[in-house]
A and B are shown apart, each in its own frame.
Chain A
Amino acid sequence: DAGVIQSPRHEVTEMGQEVTLRCKPISGHDYLFWYRQTMMRGLELLIYFNNNVPIDDSGMPEDRFSAKMPNASFSTLKIQPSEPRDSAVYFCASSLGLLAGISGTDTQYFGPGTRLTVL
């Protein structure tokens, strides 16, 4: 399996521009998580989905951020308009979910991240 795939790996944009980050979870995984990592705040959950439905978006910082999961194999995180304080590494993670959790061996598998710089 190729693991969680994220694109682009690096994104440099100017303040005010729209940014779209993409994620392809591991095939068969029911849960998808978007996290953001900064030096100041560490790794923080933004939003997560179960079977393509958003479950908790309380971590989304403000209305400029939106996330969608149109199907089981694709999710996007969009920032419009972008600001310099959005500069961070954005990670997508996926997992099998409840059934695997019963065996106690489930875990979240992280992608390589997208390093976003907003100038």
Chain B
Amino acid sequence: QKEVEQDPGPLSVPEGAIVSLNCTYSNSAFQYFMWYRQYSRKGPELLMYTYSSGNKEDGRFTAQVDKSSKYISLFIRDSQPSDSATYLCAMSVTFSGNTPLVFGKGTRLSVIA
């Protein structure tokens, strides 16, 4: 079993829809949970990070972590065509640029105008 599992999609939604993206993981040592967004032919960019369990909101984006279930989610409200990208969850034992990240395979999202 891979350490981090993520449904690759693709996921296609109409503009304005609420999008839910999810990952599960097996390593209970993970403390920091990140979501990266990757546009086509580009490198991943950090979108949000959360520490331990709980919610974090940033504009239209909400990240949730449930450590008891080893399950994390990213919600996108009022989705826009510009949100069309691949979303990768990533995890690490510590949050610091010096820690290798373990990534999910990514979910490809298309928001249709």
The interface of chain A, by Cβ under 8 A from chain B, is 4, 29-31, 33, 41-45, 48, 50, 56, 91, 93, 95-98, 100-101, 104, 106-108, 110-113
- For the complex with contacts A42-B88, A42-B106, A110-B45, 9 further pairs of A-B residues with Cβ separation under 8 Å are A31-B97, A41-B105, A43-B103, A45-B100, A97-B96, A101-B95, A101-B98, A112-B41, A112-B42
CB–CB B105/A42 < 8 A: yes
Which B residues have a C-beta under 8 Å from some C-beta of A? 6, 34, 41-46, 49, 51, 88, 94-106
Within the assembled complex, what's the spacing in Å between the Cα atoms of A101 and B95? Answer: 7
A111 to B100, Cβ gap below 8 A?
no
Contact partners of A96 in chain B: CB under 8 A: 97
Distance in angstroms from A59 CB to nearest chain B CB is 8
User: Which residue of the partner chain A has the closest CB to B42?
Assistant: A112
- Which residue on chain A has the smallest CB distance to residue B45? A110
How many A-B residue contacts, CB cutoff 8 Å?
68
**Contact A101–B97 (Cβ < 8 Å):** yes
- Please name the residue on chain A nearest to B105 by beta carbon: A42
Q: Which residues of A contact B44 (CB under 8 A)?
A: 43, 91, 110
A101 → B minimal CB distance (Å): 3
What is the distance, in angstroms, from B50's C-beta to the closest C-beta of chain A? Answer: 11
What is the chain A residue whose CB lies nearest that of B88? A43
User: What residues on A are CB-neighbors of B34 within 8 Å?
Assistant: 107
Task: Decide: B98 and A50 in contact? CB cutoff 8 A.
Answer: yes
Query: Which of A33, A42, A44, A97 has the most CB atoms of chain B within a 10 A radius of its CB?
Result: A42
Taking the closest CB of chain B, its distance from the CB of A98, in whole angstroms, is 5
Question: Is A97 a contact of B98 with CB atoms below 8 Å?
Answer: yes
Q: Which chain B residues border A108 with CB–CB below 8 Å?
A: 46, 97, 101
Q: When A and B form their complex, which 3 residue pairs have the shortest distance between CB atoms, in order from nearest? A: A95-B97, A101-B96, A110-B43
Q: CB within 8 A of B97: which of A43, A91, A100, A112?
A: A100
B contact residues around A56 at 8 Å (CB): 100
Instruction: Please name the residue on chain A nearest to B43 by beta carbon.
Output: A110
Query: For the complex, what is the distance from the CA of A44 to the CA of B43, rounded to whole Å?
Result: 13
Please state if B43 and A106 are interface contacts (CB–CB under 8 Å).
no
Q: Are B95 and A104 in contact (CB under 8 A)?
A: yes
